[in-house]
């Protein structure tokens, strides 16, 4: 068998510029004067990589938080606490703007035998980590702290294309003795993006306790396209060409809301935090789902060969996307120059549901081939999540007043629910492997700013990865419309460099 044109690429922003602009008001309560500040960051065309669409902890936001692998729920002195623990915002002393846009990674993903024997999907790419921009608003009453931020928790793009040809014994030997010449092509494009806007309010109850609430508004967009065509040339001219092709398209957006409450206790050398995040509240969204299946001269039911098409497209459907309830606990212990930190977080499971609910209708043409099959069975797009438990460990050492070293690690379990593979309809998930992340680096502090440099390493593997659309010796004539399902191995490796900057505009009064 010869394999041609096997390629896969994962990127999340290709050849375009991203401009972030935001306005920060530092003295909103002083009516006679205020300070107006505008920051614009223009990122040159980059290929941005994020190889996961079923993980909660792949990305960490903020310079110190990234170097501590997110082990900061026990408290930290920057405005990323609006995401990790809003209760800790009450202890901040600086009005700051944080930007974490320049972290560059080389990522390698390999899915063995994606299309057939020795036809692997292999992706080796260079890219950058998502942008975080946020700030604090100064208030007259220093017991209150307000913060805001823009984050990109999901920024995923998978593109894979492969072609294979060879000789396979697909048609019954009674009609076509021996192996038949077979050709197949497959392509998948899966693009998922989320932009999260967070606004937090925190109140310092006393010297040691802080309480806060964060509101998260998340905009999700998802575009999925898949094509598969397999044709086999019978050895008997009376049978001729048999085969089929499959085309699936999904395109939707959704807006949801979640509330996070946090409490933080600070008394040297300890810092302890607890947060609860609500399940998401679906706000609104629209989407389109479409499927086209064409059969040519196939034995689908009985001994008669038939040709036909099954096709439908439904647009402007209401969408639902769900985020789970989660609870996190963190503790910091700083007996001297060293700080030891741990954070654990539990994410509850989500029962399988439909992102869109297509209406029933005729799907197969001519209808006589399969009158019982309706559009809703083939156009439904399922989602769901199994419960996961993640742990992050971080170590921080203050070499002197201006120079701090970090080392940390965390697990990042996939929430992919394997029951989705058994449902009819369109399956739009790509990654299902568990990940392990490690980070190490330094922070240089100055009077009004800090600079962070670090190394990031991630790895993961799934020895039981279910890959559909494969062409292999087990392929039968009835599989030509969807390909065979193969249990194979998928692996992920990433190495990156972090460059982050924080600017402190002024101390809170």
Hunting for tokens 């700083």 — which residue is that?
Answer: 334
Whether a cis peptide bond, with omega within 30° of 0, leads into 366 is yes
Distance CA 485, CA 499 (A): 42
What pLDDT sits at residue 256?
98
Decide which of 150 and 101 is more confident: 150
What pLDDT sits at residue 505?
59
The arithmetic mean of pLDDT across residues 171-177, rounded, is 87
DSSP 3-state percent helix, strand, coil across the chain (nearest 5): 5, 65, 30
Whether a cis peptide bond, with omega within 30° of 0, leads into 269 is yes
The arithmetic mean of pLDDT across residues 207-222, rounded, is 97
What pLDDT sits at residue 32?
32
Give strand pairing partners of 408.
Answer: 394, 439
Distance CA 128, CA 13 (A): 9
What pLDDT sits at residue 362?
80
Hey, how many other C-beta atoms are within 10 angstroms of the C-beta on 182? 24
Distance CA 84, CA 134 (A): 13
Going by pLDDT thresholds of 50, 70 and 90, the confidence category of residue 63 is confident
For the entire predicted model, the pTM comes to 0.83
Mean pLDDT, the chain, as a whole number?
81
Containing H/E element for 153? strand 144-168
User: Residue 20 above 70 pLDDT?
Assistant: no
Q: State pLDDT tens for residues 184-201.
A: 888 888 889 999 999 999
What pLDDT sits at residue 151?
87
Of the options 3.40.190.10, 2.40.160.60, 2.60.40.10, 3.90.1150.10, the CATH number for the domain spanning 2-27+39-507:
2.40.160.60
Instruction: Say if residues 495 and 105 touch (Cβ distance below 8 Å).
Output: yes
Q: State pLDDT tens for residues 65-119.
A: 989 999 999 988 778 899 999 999 999 876 555 555 455 566 555 666 555 565 5
216-230, 339-353, 405-419, 486-500: least confidently modelled range: 486-500
What pLDDT sits at residue 43?
29
Helix runs in 32-146, H state only:
63-67, 81-84
Distance CA 433, CA 55 (A): 9
Going by pLDDT thresholds of 50, 70 and 90, the confidence category of residue 298 is confident
Q: State pLDDT tens for residues 336-364.
A: 999 999 999 999 999 999 999 999 888 88
The arithmetic mean of pLDDT across residues 484-506, rounded, is 75
Decide which of 471 and 283 is more confident: 283
What pLDDT sits at residue 437?
95
Going by pLDDT thresholds of 50, 70 and 90, the confidence category of residue 250 is very high
The arithmetic mean of pLDDT across residues 405-433, rounded, is 92
User: What secondary structure does DSSP assign to 350-386, as a single string?
Assistant: EEEEEEE-PPP-B-EESGGG-TT-BHHHHH-EEEEE-
Decide which of 363 and 12 is more confident: 363
User: Residue 24 above 60 pLDDT?
Assistant: no
148-157, 325-334, 430-439: least confidently modelled range: 148-157
Distance CA 35, CA 33 (A): 7
73 phi, psi to nearest 5 deg: -65, -25
User: What secondary structure does DSSP assign to 383-443, as a single string?
Assistant: EEE--EEEEEEEEEEESSSSEEEEEEEEEE-----GGGGGSSSB-------EEEEEEEEEE
What pLDDT sits at residue 269?
95
176-180, 182-186, 481-485: least confidently modelled range: 481-485
What pLDDT sits at residue 494?
84
Highest mean pLDDT among 165-169, 210-214, 296-300: 210-214
């Amino acid at each position: 068998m010869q394999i041609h044109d096997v390629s896969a690429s994962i990127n999340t922003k290709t050849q375009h510029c991203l401009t972030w602009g935001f306005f920060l008001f530092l003295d909103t309560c002083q009516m006679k004067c205020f300070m107006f500040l505008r920051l614009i960051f223009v990122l040159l065309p980059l290929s941005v990589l994020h190889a996961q669409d079923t993980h909660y902890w792949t990305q960490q936001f903020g310079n110190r938080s990234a170097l501590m692998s997110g082990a900061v729920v026990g408290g930290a002195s920057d405005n990323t606490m609006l995401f990790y623990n809003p209760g800790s915002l009450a202890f901040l002393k600086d009005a700051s703007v944080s930007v974490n846009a320049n972290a560059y990674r080389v990522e390698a993903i390999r899915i063995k035998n994606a299309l057939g024997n020795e036809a692997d999907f292999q992706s080796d790419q260079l890219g950058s980590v998502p942008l975080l921009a946020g700030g604090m608003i100064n208030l007259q009453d220093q017991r209150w702290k307000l913060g805001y931020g823009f984050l990109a928790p999901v920024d995923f793009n998978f593109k894979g294309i492969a072609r294979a040809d060879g000789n396979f014994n697909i048609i019954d030997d009674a009609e076509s003795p021996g192996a038949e010449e077979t050709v197949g092509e497959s392509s998948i494009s899966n693009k998922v993006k989320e932009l999260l806007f967070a606004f937090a309010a925190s109140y310092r109850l006393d010297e040691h306790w802080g309480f806060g609430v964060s509101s998260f508004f998340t905009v999700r967009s998802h575009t999925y396209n898949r094509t598969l065509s397999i044709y086999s040339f019978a050895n008997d001219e009376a049978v001729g060409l048999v085969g089929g092709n499959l085309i699936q398209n999904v395109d939707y957006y959704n807006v949801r809301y979640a509330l996070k409450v946090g409490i933080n206790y600070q008394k040297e050398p300890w810092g302890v935090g607890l947060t609860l995040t609500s399940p998401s509240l679906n706000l609104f969204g629209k989407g389109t789902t479409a499927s086209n299946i064409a059969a040519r001269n196939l034995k689908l039911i009985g001994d008669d060969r038939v040709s036909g098409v099954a096709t439908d497209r439904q647009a402007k459907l209401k969408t639902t996307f769900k985020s789970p309830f989660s609870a996190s606990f963190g503790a910091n212990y700083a007996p001297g120059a060293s700080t030891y930190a741990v954070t654990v977080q539990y994410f509850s499971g989500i029962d399988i549901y439909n992102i869109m609910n297509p209406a029933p209708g005729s799907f197969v043409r001519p209808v006589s081939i399969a009158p019982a099959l309706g559009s809703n069975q083939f156009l439904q797009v399922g989602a769901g999540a199994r419960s996961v438990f993640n742990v992050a460990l971080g170590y921080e050492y203050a070499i002197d007043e201006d120079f701090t070293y970090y080392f940390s690690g965390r697990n990042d379990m996939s929430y992919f629910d394997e029951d989705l593979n058994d449902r009819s309809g369109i399956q739009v998930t790509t990654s299902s492997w568990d990940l392990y992340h490690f980070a190490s680096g330094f922070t240089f502090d100055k009077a009004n700013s800090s600079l962070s440099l670090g190394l990031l390493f991630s790895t993961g593997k799934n020895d039981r990865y279910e890959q559909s659309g494969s062409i292999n010796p087990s392929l039968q004539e009835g599989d030509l419309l969807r390909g065979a399902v193969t249990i194979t191995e998928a692996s992920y490796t990433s190495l990156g460099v972090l460059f982050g900057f924080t600017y402190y505009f002024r101390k809170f009064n």
